[in-house]
Every structure is written in structure tokens, then in C-alpha cells.
A = this chain, B = another copy of it.
């Protein structure tokens, strides 16, 4: 499962937050949320497939713990988006008027490309 997909569900995000305080058993995680234990189990499976969580098997218990490595992808994606549009204030205004001014040019260029 994809990391972004794994983070999309609010309950899964809560589970991660909870696990960020330390490892926890499935029952403990389930007790903290208003859903059944099997539901928690499946969410943990999704998180596990995304690499966001790993389990230590201790007897009949499984201690899940957070794994932060996959978050790097999210982080880099977000920072990538946030860095680009950092243009000076007037640039956007200029761009808007530029767009309006060159609409016809663009149109002509598109037509030319079409014939090509």
C-alpha cells in the first residue's frame, strides 16, 4: 500500500500518533478508538504494508511500533511543492496580466503545433 494512501485515513493517522508515544498492543490501540478490534487489525495491516509500522511478536501479543522511514517520501514531496511557488509577490500579478495578454499568441502556437 502507498504511504500517501496509508496517511489518508484519519483513524490510521491517530494510530500513528498513538504509536509515536511508544509501542502498543492491538488491544490497547483498539481500546482507544471507537471501532472494533478487527478493524484496527486491518488498519495496522495497511500501515504495515506502507512500512509505517512494524510488529514485535511477544508470545501471544504483538507490539506494534512506528517506523518513520517511509515518511521521507511524503516530506520530500511536500517540501518540493512548497519550495517552487516561492516567487516574489509581484511575479504572480505580472504573470496574471501576462497570461491575459498572450492568450492569442498561445492560441496561435497551439495551432502551429497541431499542424506539426
Contact = CB atoms under 8 A, between A and B. Distances in A.
A15 B44 CA distance: 29
A110 B66 CA distance: 13
Nearest to A20: B84
Question: How often does this chain occur in the complex, in copies?
Answer: 2
B77 A78 contact: no
Contacts of A66: 81, 84-85
Interface of A: 2, 4-5, 7-8, 10, 13, 16-17, 20-23, 56, 58-59, 61, 63, 65-66, 68, 71, 74-75, 77-82, 84-85, 87, 91-92, 95-96, 99-100, 102-104, 106, 110
Contacts of A87: 22
A61 B102 CA distance: 11
Name A's interface SS.
helix
Contact of A75 (B13, B17, B75, B110): B75
Contact of A8 (B7, B78, B106): B7
22 contacts: A2-B8, A4-B4, A4-B10, A4-B13, A7-B8, A20-B80, A20-B84, A22-B95, A23-B95, A23-B99, A56-B110, A58-B99, A58-B100, A58-B102, A59-B104, A66-B81, A66-B84, A66-B85, A68-B81, A68-B85, A74-B78, A78-B78
